[in-house]
Amino acid sequence: MDAAAPVAGRPGPSLRRAAAQLIFPPASRFGVSGVASEEGPSVRIERALLSVDDKSGLPGLARALAALQIELWATGGTRRALLDGQVAVRPAEELTGIGSWFEGRIKTLHPGLLGGILAPRSDAGRRELRERGLLAFDLVVVNFYPFERHLVEHPDARDREEFIDIGGVTLARAAAKNHGSVTVVTEPAEYPALIDELRARAGQVSAATRRRLAVRAFERCTEYDAAIARGLGLAAGSPDGFPEEVVFRREPLRLRYGENPHQRAATYATVSPPGAGLRPSPFAVVKGDALSYTNLLDLDTALATVAEFAEPAAAVVKHATPCGVATGATLAEALANAVATDPVARYGCAIAVNRPFGASEPPALKGIFVDLLAAPEFDPSALEPLGHRPKLKLVRVPPPARQPVSWEAKSALGRLLLQEADRRDLVPGELKLVTRAVATEAERDALEFAWKVVRHAKSNAIVLADGHRTVGLGSGQPTRVKAVEIACEVAGARARGSVLASDAFFPFADGLDVAASAGVRAVLQPGGSLRDPEVIARADAAGIAMYFTGWRVFRH
């Protein structure tokens, strides 16, 4: 077939040539290769191709483009969605001469579209476009079949291959390759900024924006391919359940600084696993300065701690370790008991609660310097008194989930360390009594509360509890006896009659001796030390009830 001859349903060569001549700027605006550099000129958007699976924000984008006199073309499902929204758009089939082949597997893989995206904006490129009767596109809006979401929603599905996008990824790569002349958008979140720039620049897009969006498009293709490889690998079976590759991408959140003000810091979120695309930030700063690196560490510990409890709970955290935790019949009661644990350590603390923060809670914080306060919601009646604290940061987060992730990461020696998150719970009958003394029902209940807290404190970690409130914590010490000494010192007279939970075994009996001298009545620890018999004998001599769990809860 003559390349210039009209095809049924396709515009004739005169229309295509006229359109091509209108949209291409003079060759002198470009470099020798015909591609604009990062510092190059803005490019006017005359024609856009839209082909998206995620229709979020699509009608608004299309209306904004149409208002700027931009000609719109779209593939089948995208065009139907736009027509339903009363947006005029031309079908991409006019340029390809085909509709949907092989149950939709082939729709956009055609020179009628790819040629108009990849053609260089040079004299030779414009001449070849005219000769082949092609239209040029200078904006491509595309996103992919939701392969990642399909994995999450249907982890046992056998039809994973059917959710692998080929055409969309090809369009994105082609447009990104030619970003000197073509703008590519792969995420609905980018629509508002694109619209703003087009309006401000009379329909033009800067070279810097085109390059940034092209980089993001290549990143998205990389993420998508990695998710596919991982998904197919999981279908084949993974020996240990860990992915071969984990993809992180920088979030728009800007941190004030790192651990110290002279250190820069940034946050990165997992793209996959487990979700599709970059997940939105789980929190919002309601009041106060931007968060810092240490704020996020404290917030993570505080939220994980209150997530242990179904009843109203509050956790006071300093340097990423709890220094006061309590539950109560009301949130006000829990908060008051949590902040009462350690009046010294709580200075400049972070606090998280697992209930909306209302008018009854602010009095519990009177006279206490709190750096950050996190809650699922803040009642307007509580915001007024909290607003008088100029340095307080208020963070709204969803009610913390008991199992937000199945794995967690740290860095060491320039490497990413990945481990399964510690989500193991005590189960009935797991506590093994190893002493003659037996804990009362109330003491056993307090021991289980203390165990839920000690797993979030830094090793070596000791928690003293009275009912469902902590009275003393010692953590992050190189020796366990020192951690017991600190916990008992913090508790003072409150140690008498309390219970103790230890995140790991007592290597010597000295820690047990300190606890006995302070008046501790019951102990819960993993056991497993070579000196267990000696430790048990000291507990028997002191009349302390002691239980072993058989497993530890270190947190470094």
Return the active site residues.
Answer: 177, 319
For residue 383, report the phi and psi dihedrals to the nearest 5 degrees.
-65, -30
Q: Which tokens in the block code for residue 111? A: 């020179």
> How many angstroms separate the CA atoms of 436 and 420, rounded?
37
Helix axes of 167-177 and 111-118: crossing angle, nearest 10 degrees: 20
Contact 382, 353 (CB under 8 A): no
Q: Report DSSP letters for 265-304, one per residue.
A: -EEEEEEESSSSSSPPPS-EEEESSPP-HHHHHHHHHHHH
Q: Are strands 499-502 and 522-525 parallel, antiparallel or unpaired?
A: parallel
CA dihedral 161, 167, 168, 172 (to 10 degrees): 130
Count, in order, helices (H) and strands (E) of the chain: 17, 23
The tokens for 459 are: 């090793």
Residue 462's φ and ψ, nearest 5 degrees, are -130, 135
According to DSSP, residue 434 is labeled: -
Q: For 24-146, where are the alpha helices, taking DSSP H only? A: 58-67, 76-84, 93-96, 111-118, 123-132
- Written in H, E and C, the secondary structure of 136-157 is CCCEEEECCCCHHHHHHHCCCC
Strands 393-396 and 183-185 turn out to be unpaired
DSSP of 514-556 = HHHHHT--EEEE----TTHHHHHHHHHHHT-EEEE-S------
Residue 393 pairs in a beta bridge with 372
Q: Which uninterrupted H or E stretch holds 451?
A: helix 441-454
| Residue of 318, 534, 302 lying closest to 434 (CA atoms) | 534
Tokens at residue 473, please? 């914590």
H-run or E-run covering 351: strand 349-353
Contact 527, 409 (CB under 8 A): no
Structure tokens at 240: 């240990």
CA nearest to 474, candidates 301, 323, 303, 298:
323
Q: How far is CA 375 from the centre of its chain?
A: 18
Question: Measuring CA to CA, which residue among 208, 242, 243, 241 is closest to residue 228?
Answer: 243
